[in-house]
């Protein structure tokens, strides 16, 4: 190919950001950029910013919701930084900074107690809720930020109750320890979602750079705020509530902007119910927009996945009932107000999705708890027949709609059971 610049020898590009051509003219090779000049990655202000703060290969190397999420995440981090300054000032005042009668030993003991209770809270929370943080990352991310704001509010009020100051700051320390576990774990879960080239480390590093820049900006603003709020309770509380409202709003928008293509219980339930109702398959965007991001008082029969055999059946007769109409590597039963699923060791991800679909249908059918005309086992048998009829077209539909069915975020426990196909 020959142009007025010479013969085109080669072309190269840097993702979707830059495109270059090599020309040969008068036995000299020259490299020229396609399109507008002066926007090369690393050779302009915008280019330097992208290199420093965005993952390599952006936007192809991250999920489509990355930029929207990071915008709101940056805004919430900035407002949280300012709220944290007000809380820190109150804590320092409470332990005696500026008070000649306060002792270093008393302040140190208070700080040690706060940190110690926080460490215990971190261990207990990770033990009790660790497995839930992947499957319900949005809810726990929002929970962490709400709890963080509550902890900072408690710290601001602590100096006004000197008799209970140590108890109050220890309580705030426990809250913040829960925030650390839930916030850190859900951030990791969201990073897995955003990483489209196995580039989790790069995304995490750049997220850290973004947060550091925001905290630096918050530090500069805080330096201007501190002289204004010192010994001014009304202004301190007013600014805190302003920053808290901004923080919670930004967090809500951030989790709402995340569009996950893998099924958890909530997203699968939303898609399945829509399909059973009118045959429509919701896209990941539509289902994520309907997914609840706040914890709710459960209105449906709870579902327990991967339980022990005795939590599904408790006699040979019940095992035969569980196997009736069922040729799948899982057993379902209704016991103690829960839909329980017992999984076989050979079950695939497809089987897990089908079992969850069946459990969701059972849960919705049995909710709210009313006087049932049929026995629970009869309803279980109906669910097997329904899945035999609808599951294959449903699975093809969700794959075509863009859902990832090769893995799930369903909250399975580790019990796996092998059973006889028939008992006497």
Tokens of 370: 């009313």
- How far apart are the two ends of the chain, measured CA to CA in Å? 81
Same domain membership, residue 325 and residue 246: no
DSSP one-letter code for 130:
T
**Are 395 and 288 spatial neighbours (Cβ–Cβ below 8 Å)?**
no
178 & 296 share domain: no
pLDDT for the residue 94: 56
> What gap in Å lies between CA 169 and CA 40, rounded to an integer?
51
Q: Is 101 exposed, middle or buried (0-12, 13-18, 19+ CB in 10 A)?
A: exposed
Listed residue (159, 203, 215, 150) closest to 179, CA to CA: 150
pLDDT at residue 91 in the model: 67
Between CA 114 and CA 87 the distance in angstroms is 14
Angle at 113 between CA 109 and CA 114, to 5 degrees: 115
Asked if 332 and 322 touch (Cβ cutoff 8 Å), the reply is: yes
**110 and 252 in one domain?**
yes
The predicted pLDDT at position 69 comes to: 95
How many domains in the chain?
A: 3
Cα(1)–Cα(112) distance, rounded to whole angstroms? 73
Q: Between 7 and 142, whose confidence is greater? A: 142
Question: Hey, what are 6's tokens?
Answer: 């010479």
Cβ neighbours, 10 Å, residue 5: 12
- Single pTM value for the model: 0.84
Who has greater pLDDT, 131 or 329? 329
- CA pair distance 359, 21, nearest whole angstrom: 58
Q: For residue 95, what pLDDT is reported?
A: 53
On whether both 164 and 282 belong to a single domain, the answer is no
The predicted structure's pLDDT at residue 130? 80
Higher-confidence residue of 93 and 101: namely 93
Q: Are residues 247 and 359 in the same domain?
A: no
Choose one of 233, 257, 281: the last residue of a domain. 257
Instruction: Determine the pLDDT at residue 98.
Output: 44
Higher-confidence residue: 388 or 231? 388
Kindly state whether residues 294 and 369 are assigned to the same domain: yes
- Is the domain of 104 the same as that of 24? no
Q: What is the mean pLDDT of residues 258-277?
A: 96
What's the pLDDT score for residue 101? Answer: 47
The residues, any chain, with a CB within 8 Å of residue 165's CB and separated by 6 or more, are: 94, 95, 110, 158, 159
| CA proximity to 408, closest of 266, 197, 308 | 266
Tokens of 1: 């190919």
CB 194 within 8 A of CB 63: yes
pLDDT at 107: 63
- Examine the pLDDT at 411 and tell me if it is beyond 70: yes
Residue 28 forms beta bridges with which residues? 25
Average pLDDT of the segment spanning 149-155: 90
- Higher pLDDT: 345 or 103? It is 345
Mean pLDDT value of segment 267-287 = 96
232, 257, 282 - which closes a domain:
257
Residue 29 structural domain: 2-53
Whole-number pLDDT of residue 375: 85
Q: Is residue 223 domain-shared with residue 190, that is, in the same domain?
A: yes
pLDDT at residue 305 tops 60: yes
Q: For residues 148 and 163, what is the distance between their CA atoms, to the nearest angstrom? A: 24
Q: How confident is the model at residue 97 (pLDDT cuts 50, 70, 90)?
A: very low
Q: What angle do CA 32, 37, 38 make, to 5 degrees?
A: 115
Alpha carbon 309 to its chain's center:
31
pLDDT of residue 196 exceeding 70: yes
Q: Indicate the angle between helix axes 137-157 and 66-94, nearest 10 degrees.
A: 20
Per-residue pLDDT at 100: 46
Q: Point out which residues pair with 341 in neighbouring strands.
A: 305, 332
Backbone φ/ψ region at 18: left (φ over 0), alpha (ψ -120 to 50), beta: beta
Torsion of CA 45, 46, 52, 54, to 10 degrees: 170
Position 206 in a domain: yes
What is d(CA 377, CA 333) in angstroms, rounded to the nearest whole number?
7
Is 410 a domain residue? Answer: no
Judgement on whether residues 93 and 235 belong to the same structural domain of the protein: yes
Could you report the per-residue pLDDT of 28-73, keeping only the tens digit for each? 888 888 765 444 555 578 778 888 899 988 888 999 999 999 999 9
Task: Quickly count helices (H) and strands (E) in the chain.
Answer: 13, 7
Higher pLDDT, 119 or 3: 119
Residue 275 domain-assigned (yes or no): yes
Quick one: which of 362, 302, 301, 300 has its CA closest to 326? 362
Q: What is the per-residue pLDDT for 13?
A: 79
Confidence of residue 103 (pLDDT cuts 50, 70, 90): low
pLDDT value at 389 more than 70: yes
Share of the chain above pLDDT 70, in %: 89
Tell me what pLDDT residue 343 has.
95
Q: Are 297 and 348 contained in the same domain?
A: yes
Q: Is residue 416 part of a domain?
A: no
Give the pLDDT band (50/70/90) at residue 128: confident
Please indicate, yes or no, whether residues 157 and 70 belong to a single structural domain of this protein: yes
Residues 190/182, Cβ–Cβ less than 8 Å: no
In a domain, 135, yes or no: yes
- Tell me if 407 is assigned to some domain: no
Mean pLDDT, the chain, whole residue set: 87
Q: Has residue 328 been placed in a domain?
A: yes
178 or 372: which leads in pLDDT: 178
Contact 274, 291 (CB under 8 A): no
The tally of CA atoms less than 13 A away on the side-chain side of residue 297 is 1
Is 233 found in the same domain as 278?
no
Q: Looking at residue 3, what is its pLDDT?
A: 60
pLDDT of residue 213: 93
Task: Name, in order, each residue with C-beta under 8 angstroms of 296's C-beta and a sequence gap of 6 or more.
Answer: none
SS3 408: coil
pLDDT grade, residue 165 (50/70/90)?
Answer: confident
d(CA 74, CA 76): 5
The answer, yes or no, to whether residue 364 has pLDDT greater than 70, is yes
Final residue in a domain of this structure, among 204, 239, 257: 257
408 occurs within a structural domain = no
Q: Residue 204 maps to which CATH number? A: 1.20.1250
Phi first, then psi, for residue 64 (nearest 5°) are -65, -25
pLDDT at 295: 83
Rounded average pLDDT over 196-220: 92
* Residue 40 pLDDT: 52
Q: What is the DSSP letter of 422?
A: -
- Is cis: bond before 59, omega within 30 of 0? yes
């Amino acid at each position: 190919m020959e142009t007025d610049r010479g013969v085109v020898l080669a072309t190269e590009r840097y993702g979707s950001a830059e495109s270059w051509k090599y020309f040969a003219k008068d036995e000299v090779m020259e490299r020229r950029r396609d399109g507008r000049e002066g926007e090369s990655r690393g050779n302009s202000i915008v280019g330097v910013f992208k290199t420093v703060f965005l993952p390599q290969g952006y936007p192809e190397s991250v999920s489509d919701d990355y930029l929207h999420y990071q915008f709101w995440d940056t805004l919430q981090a900035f407002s949280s930084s300012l709220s944290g300054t007000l809380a820190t000032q109150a804590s320092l005042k409470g332990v005696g900074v500026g008070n000649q009668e306060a002792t270093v030993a008393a302040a140190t003991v208070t700080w040690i107690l706060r940190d110690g209770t926080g460490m215990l809270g971190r261990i207990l929370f990770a033990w009790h809720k660790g497995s839930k943080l992947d499957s319900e990352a949005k809810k726990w991310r929002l929970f962490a930020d709400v709890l963080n704001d509550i902890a900072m509010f408690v710290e601001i009020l602590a100096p006004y109750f000197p008799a209970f100051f140590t108890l109050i700051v220890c309580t705030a320390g426990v809250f913040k320890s829960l925030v650390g576990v839930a916030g850190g774990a859900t951030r990791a879960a969201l990073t897995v979602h955003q990483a489209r080239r196995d580039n989790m480390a790069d995304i995490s590093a750049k997220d850290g750079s973004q947060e550091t820049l925001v905290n630096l900006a918050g530090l500069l603003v805080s330096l201007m705020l501190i002289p204004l709020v010192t010994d001014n309770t009304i202004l301190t509380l007013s600014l805190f509530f302003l920053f808290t409202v901004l923080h919670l709003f930004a967090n809500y928008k951030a989790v709402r902007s995340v569009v996950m293509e893998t099924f958890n219980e909530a997203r699968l339930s939303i898609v399945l119910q829509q399909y059973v109702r009118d045959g429509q398959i919701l896209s990941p965007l539509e289902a994520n927009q309907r997914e609840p991001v706040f914890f709710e008082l459960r209105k449906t029969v709870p579902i327990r996945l991967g339980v022990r055999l005795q939590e599904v059946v408790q006699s040979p007769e019940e095992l035969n009932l569980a196997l009736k109409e069922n040729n799948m590597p899982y057993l379902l039963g209704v016991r103690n107000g829960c839909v329980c699923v017992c999984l076989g060791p050979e079950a695939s991800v497809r089987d897990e999705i089908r079992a969850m679909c069946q459990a969701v249908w059972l849960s919705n059918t049995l909710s709210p708890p009313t006087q049932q005309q049929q026995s629970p086992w009869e309803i279980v048998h109906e669910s097997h027949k329904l899945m035999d009829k609808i599951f294959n077209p449903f699975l093809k539909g969700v794959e075509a709609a863009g859902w990832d069915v090769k893995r799930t975020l369903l909250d399975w426990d580790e019990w796996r059971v092998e059973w006889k196909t028939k008992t006497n």
